[in-house]
Amino acid sequence: MKLFQIPAMRDNFVIGNIGLRQLSLLKKQDKEVLPLKVLRLLCLLILFCLFFSGTFSITADIIAAEPVRHKMLLLDESRSQLLYVDQTNSDKNWKLDIENGPAWGIQLIGNNQILVAMPKKGGFREYDLTTRKVVRECFDPVRYAGTMSAVRFPDGRTILGCDRGFVRIFLLDGDGHETAAWEFPAMKIIRQIRRTTRNTLLFGSNSDWCYEVSLEGKIVRELQLLGTKHNYQVTELPNGNWLIAGGYGCFLAEVDRENQVIQRWGGQPFPDGLHYIFMSQFQTLKDGHLVVATWTGHGANDSEKGQQVVEFDSTGHVVWTWHNPQLAGSIHGVIILDDLDTNKFYDDVDFTKDFK
C-alpha cells in the first residue's frame, strides 16, 4: 500500500457530511458553537477512523499522479555508446558501442533510422534502430574533420558543422556530395546546428554567443547570453524566440527578439538532490515540458556525479530525472520516443511546434 500526504484542506474537501464550507458558515453564524480548530480536529479524527475501517471516501483531488516513465534514445559521450531505454519494460533496453566514437547529436530521419555526427571520422553516420547496424556513412577525415553536428533537411540534404580551429559549415546533397561551404574564422567553437522554418541555421559559438546564418553564409542575427559557456543547442520557437541550452551555464533559456530572457530552466543553486555540470541536447515534448541531457564529464564514471537526463515542466520545476551510472556514462544526446514514430522524419521544427 502506498502512503500519501493529505494536502491542505479546501472548500470542496468533505468528510462524511461535514465540509469546510459548512464549518466556515458555523463560524460566521455563531462563534460560540465550537472553535473552528476543534471542529477541524474532529474532522481529521473522523477521517482516520474511516480510513482504517476501509469505508471512507473523499471528494477532493488527492489522487497521486502516476510516475513518469519514458522510452528514449541516449548518446553516451564518455563511454561512446548509443542506448535505448524503455522505463515501461527494461527487457527491451539495449546499448550499442559506437565504433570510432563518440557520436554527437541524434536525429530521427525516418525508416527507423537515426543520423549522428562523427567528429573523429569527419562526417556523418546513419544507424538502423532495428538491426543496430550502420546503413550509411559519409566521411572525409581531412575536409570534414571535427564534425560536431550533422543535420538532415526534409528534402534529404545534410548540414555538417565542423570545429577545427574555427567554425566551418558544409552543405551536402542527398547523395552526400558537397554543394556549398562557408568558413567563419571569428567563431572558434560549434556544437549543435538546428534548422529554422526559413532554412536558416542556428548554433552557439564563442562561449556565450548564438548565431543565425543563412544558406548563403551570411550572419542574419546574433546575440550574447551572459552566464553561459559553450552554448550547445539553439532552436527557434513558433513565436520567434530562441530556446538555448547554455552549456556550462547549467540552464536553458528562452530569449525574445529583443534579446531579453523570458524564462529560465535550471541554473544554480541546484534544487535539492540535483547536480548537473552542462546542459546539452534538449527536446520539447507535446505537453510543453523540456527534457535535457545533463552531461557530467568526459570520464567513463563521471555519470556518478549527477543526473544524466532531467525533465522540466513549463514553469521550470523538475518533474523527472534519469540517473543510472551503471548502465551509462555522461549523456549529451537524448530523444524521448514516447509519442514519436521512428519511421517518420523529425527535427526540432517538429518538436517545438507544440511548445507552451
Q: Long-range contacts of range 205-211, CB-CB < 8 Å, 24 or more positions apart?
A: 205/167, 205/231, 207/231, 208/246, 208/249, 210/234, 210/242, 210/244, 211/187
Which residue has 562561449 as its cell numbers? 207
The per-residue pLDDT for range 112-145, each reduced to its tens digit, is 999 999 999 999 999 999 999 999 999 999 999 9
Closest to 222 (Cα-Cα) out of 246, 202, 239, 251: 202
The Cα 81–Cα 104 span in angstroms is 10
For the chain, the straight-line distance linking the first and the last C-alpha, in angstroms and rounded, comes to 36
pLDDT at 41: 64
Number of domains in the chain: 2
Class of residue 131 by CB neighbours under 10 A (exposed 0-12, middle 13-18, buried 19+): exposed
Note whether 99 and 58 are same-domain residues. Answer: no
Given 64, 83, 99, the domain boundary residue is 64
Note whether 58 and 130 are same-domain residues. Answer: no
Note whether 115 and 51 are same-domain residues. Answer: no
pLDDT at 66: 75
Contact 103, 115 (CB under 8 A): no
Paired sense of beta strands 278-284 and 261-266, if any: unpaired
Closest to 83 (Cα-Cα) out of 127, 143, 21: 127
Note whether 54 and 78 are same-domain residues. Answer: no
User: Within 10 A of 3 (CB to CB), how many other CB atoms are there?
Assistant: 5
Note whether 50 and 90 are same-domain residues. Answer: no
The per-residue pLDDT for range 188-238, each reduced to its tens digit, is 999 999 999 999 999 999 999 999 999 999 999 999 999 999 999 999 999
pLDDT bracket for residue 352 (50, 70, 90) = confident
Class of residue 41 by CB neighbours under 10 A (exposed 0-12, middle 13-18, buried 19+): exposed
Average pLDDT of the residues in 336-354: 92
Note whether 57 and 80 are same-domain residues. Answer: no
Q: Which cell is 303 given?
A: 555519470
**CA distances (Å), 116 to each of 78, 86, 124, 174, 304, in order?**
16, 21, 6, 16, 25
Note whether 148 and 212 are same-domain residues. Answer: yes
Note whether 203 and 347 are same-domain residues. Answer: yes
Given 64, 83, 113, the domain boundary residue is 64
Q: Which cell is 43 given?
A: 474532522
pLDDT at 36: 52
The Cα 340–Cα 258 span in angstroms is 34
Average pLDDT of the residues in 181-194: 96
Note whether 274 and 138 are same-domain residues. Answer: yes
Contact 183, 167 (CB under 8 A): yes
Note whether 255 and 143 are same-domain residues. Answer: yes
Note whether 162 and 286 are same-domain residues. Answer: yes
Note whether 18 and 109 are same-domain residues. Answer: no
Nearby residues of 41 by Cβ (< 8 Å), 6 or more positions away: none
Asked if residue 19 has pLDDT above 50, the reply is: no
State yes or no: cis peptide before 102, omega within 30 of 0: yes
The per-residue pLDDT for range 144-161, each reduced to its tens digit, is 999 999 999 999 999 999
How many percent of the chain have pLDDT more than 90? Answer: 76
Q: Which cell is 11 given?
A: 472548500
Which is more confidently placed, 19 or 104?
104
**CA distances (Å), 18 to each of 24, 61, 186, in order?**
11, 17, 72
pTM of the predicted structure, to 2 decimals: 0.81
Given 13, 33, 64, the domain boundary residue is 64
> Would you call 286 helix, strand, or coil by DSSP?
coil
Asked if residue 55 has pLDDT above 50, the reply is: no
Size of the chain in residues: 356
The per-residue pLDDT for range 247-257, each reduced to its tens digit, is 999 999 999 99
pLDDT at 43: 56
- CATH number of 148's domain: 2.120.10.30
The Cα 259–Cα 269 span in angstroms is 24
Q: Which domain holds residue 38?
A: 1-64
